[in-house]
Structure 1
């Protein structure tokens, strides 16, 4: 097995099969998403198209030439006042955990969102027991903002949602100098 680190790039249509499989693993075996039925490839293609239409990034990570993870930034909420705030989503195959794909994806996602003038990125992490995601966000400069307890029911258990925040481009300390996402 190669010692090369992950390569991060923009996702392309040819990646949709891998993206769909990665998310299906997360849906069916994990609590990082509260979705309980894995969407098909057509649905994932539609979700990706909606993100790209907003001018936001959708990325994949490759290890040894194989797509092992993906990440994107989406609107935190759809009202116009939220147009400078995004929520990150990151999914990595369990077989690739600990190999740097998640961190590489999140760092590139942050850089891309800063490049388009966004001001806040939120990690809305499924399950307070999701130590890997919480640790990843903390390592990338996110601050814990609190948790909402027992709001999701999955795998016969109540699950929390943990909120973490990272300021981009100075956050709320200055007026925006870009139009933000086209919302509302």
Structure 2
């Protein structure tokens, strides 16, 4: 029997007798604190956005050394930095907070960032990471979270933050210039519950 005839015969079979396509494996991940071994995957995820989007205003790729220094600094300050890891050990995305300012009066307020690998978008991972980051910040005694989001190409991020209780508190226009065009920023803020009284920022 020719292959074409076989395919034609298959289409004549009742639906319940036809071979069903194998189901796609479930999208699984574990969220945990960042570790040094995660740095290469984190760098790859972030550098994709540096070179291909305006969701970050960085124009130069980050090095392993820069990420190592950043992780060490945030750990010293007691600020959350979490990753989502696949069952195979690949880092699918990450979320962190960093000081809004070096001035000490800002010590209970932070700016958050979330980045996903391209294969992990559109599957609910961003929401899971942001929920976990909010909870970690509450446990750390942080009182205010602020997201500074590009006003171009980051509509999904704005919608996610608003869905989880962030409120737009302001905008700045034409403060960034990347890929030959001017960009603005949107500021969203969320007040956190009192879940801890840890001393932040080494103070």
- Regarding TM over 0.5, the answer is yes
1:168 to 177, 187, 192: 192
3-state SS, counterpart of residue 193 of structure 2: coil
Quick check: 2:138–2:196 contact (8 Å CA) kept in 1?
no
Change over 3 Å in CA distance of 1:153–1:43 after alignment to 2: same
* Bigger Cα displacement from structure 2, 44-53 vs 55-64: 55-64
Change over 3 Å in CA distance of 1:179–1:81 after alignment to 2: farther
Within 1, Cα distance between the matches of 2:40 and 2:144? 30
1:40 to 55, 59, 63: 63
- Post-superposition CA distance 1:22-56 (Å, at most 9, x none): 01001111112100001111111111111111001
1:153 to 170, 177, 190: 177
The residue aligned with 1:59 is 82
Structure-to-structure mapping, 1:1-184, within 5 angstroms: 1-65=24-88, 66-169=90-193, 178=197, 180-182=199-201
The two structures have a TM-score, normalised by structure 1, of: 0.90
The two structures have a TM-score, normalised by structure 2, of: 0.82
3-state SS, counterpart of residue 105 of structure 2: helix
Unaligned runs of 5+ in 2: 1-23
Q: RMSD between aligned alpha carbons? A: 1.9
Per-residue deviation, 1:183? 6.4
Per-residue deviation, 1:104? 1.0
Higher relative contact order (CA 8 A, sep 6+): 1
Within 2, Cα distance between the matches of 1:11 and 1:179? 20
What number of residue pairs does the alignment pair up?
179
Unaligned runs of 5+ in 1: 171-175
Per-residue deviation, 1:162? 0.6
Quick check: 1:56–1:113 contact (8 Å CA) kept in 2?
yes
Per-residue deviation, 1:180? 4.2
The residue aligned with 2:16 is none
